[in-house]
Amino acid sequence: MRQLDTKEIILASHNAGKLTEIRELMEPYGFNITSVGEKGLPEPAEDGTTFEENAYTKAYAAAGATGMIALSDDSGLCVDALGGDPGVYTADWAEMPDGCGRDFLMAMEKVETALAEKGAVNPDQRRGYFCAVLCLCWPDGHAEYFRGEAHGQLVWPPRGELGFGYDPVFQPDGHTRTFGEMESSEKHSWSPDSKTDSGDGPNEGLSHRARAFAKFATELLG
């Protein structure tokens, strides 16, 4: 695995929520994170069929445009009863009909409508997970990948004004509140020295992004 030897990284995202979360996660390590959105760079077309493919597309484009090591996050909601949809098309489900922006309330309603059509009423019929793949890419195209998943159930109606995306309808296992009802620090539930509740080992984090980042930090940041 190639080692990371800089504290200056470009985040390949225009999503302000992701930028905030990544900055919070990397703050203990002293990284300076800027984003392609802040630099006004365009978003590449994401036509991959896996989170890894789309993560690489974004990271490689950012690294090539800036000459910096780039970090990307491709993530999505995978619902068991829907055959894994929306999956890599999670953001697409939120696209406005006129093409002017994204509406995640509309996207959450699409998921709920699809579940209703499947007759998914009971909690065990409404299982799913958030997946996040972090891709760290160098300007020469070399890349490292880190995957994290958070499993839980889909609730309705949406609950909470925090978080972003589909957070208000996702209730992680072991909790009675949705990601949309959690402050970001609780949603992550991870730091370099955090432990499990029993104190018998490192805490992998709660959110999919935190779990992917925990692997990233363990393998690259020491």
Of 5, 47, 74, 98, catalytic: 74
Q: CA 149, CA 132: separation in Å to the nearest integer? A: 6
| Closest C-alpha among 133, 121, 36, 40 to residue 90 | 133
What 3-state class would DSSP assign to 105?
helix
Cα 215 to Cα 113, 149, 162: the distances in Å are 35, 12, 25
Q: Is 74 a catalytic residue?
A: yes
- Side-chain-side CA neighbours of residue 220 (13 Å): 24
Specify the DSSP element, H or E, that contains 79.
strand 70-79
Q: CA 133, CA 120: separation in Å to the nearest integer? A: 28
Contacts of 191 (CB under 8 A, 6+ apart): 28
Residues carrying an active site annotation:
74
